[in-house]
């Protein structure tokens, strides 16, 4: 009706069944075999495109460049620039540290014949779990999949958003695989 109207982002309305500090056996590992074999088991992690070796290389270049500029400016009498060079190094390091911390976010989805479990472990280490009945659960994603598209799991009028950190292609692939698994259980 209104082609220029922006899509409204859906929010999570599904209450969790458990919250707490993640243990070493987090992400549903402690539920192995609790309700039969898994028909679908997926671990979702954000993509981190810069490995540790790349981080060291980038930081070496940043430190080297700031050292050279700091030395030059000190030699010509502009010694306060050294503090800004140090601040530059610290801010680049802090940005990478925060980015890598966000990379610790993970979600796990497991479907068995009688249950669907979702676990989300935040970068802080806090884990939240949801337990759904697969017969009353549906997976919805906007088609065609765009950057703003979300994988929404709905059950009994409540919504849970999964894989918000995935690329659009990964979200589409995940939604299709999860819908197929739920379809096997429901049929």
Domain range list for the chain: 18-45+105-186, 52-102
Look up tokens 């695989």; give the residue: 177
Beginning with the edge strand found earlier in the chain, give each strand of the sheet holding 40-44 in spatial order.
Answer: 18-21, 126-132, 116-121, 106-111, 40-44
Question: What DSSP state is assigned to residue 29?
Answer: G
Contact status, residue 9 vs residue 149, Cβ threshold 8 Å: no
Q: What percent of the chain has pLDDT over 90?
A: 45
Q: Which residues lie closer than 8 Å to 158 by C-beta, 6 or more apart?
A: 13, 14, 15
| Distance separating alpha carbons of residues 78 and 89, to the nearest angstrom | 18
What pLDDT sits at residue 20?
Answer: 77
- pTM (predicted TM-score): 0.74
pLDDT in tens, 104-145: 889 999 998 889 999 998 888 888 999 999 999 999 888 788
* CATH class of the domain whose range is 18-45+105-186: mainly beta
């Amino acid at each position: 009706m209104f082609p220029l109207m922006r899509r409204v982002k859906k929010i999570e309305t599904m209450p969790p069944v458990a919250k707490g500090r993640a243990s070493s056996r987090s992400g549903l590992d402690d539920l192995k075999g609790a309700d039969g074999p898994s028909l679908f088991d997926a671990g979702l992690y954000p993509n981190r495109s810069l490995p540790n070796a790349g981080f060291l290389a980038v930081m070496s270049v940043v430190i080297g460049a700031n050292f050279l500029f700091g030395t030059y400016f000190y030699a010509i009498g502009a010694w306060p620039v050294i503090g800004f060079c140090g601040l530059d190094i610290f801010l680049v390091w802090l940005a990478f540290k925060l980015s890598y911390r966000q990379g610790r976010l993970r979600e796990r989805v497991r479907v068995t014949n009688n249950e669907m479990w979702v676990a989300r472990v935040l970068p802080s280490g806090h884990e939240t779990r949801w337990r759904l009945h697969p017969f009353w659960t549906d997976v919805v994603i906007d088609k065609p999949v765009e950057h703003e598209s979300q994988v929404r799991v709905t059950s009994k009028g409540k919504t849970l958003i999964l894989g918000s950190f995935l690329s659009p292609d990964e979200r589409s692939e995940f939604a299709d695989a999860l819908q197929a698994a739920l379809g096997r259980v429901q049929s």
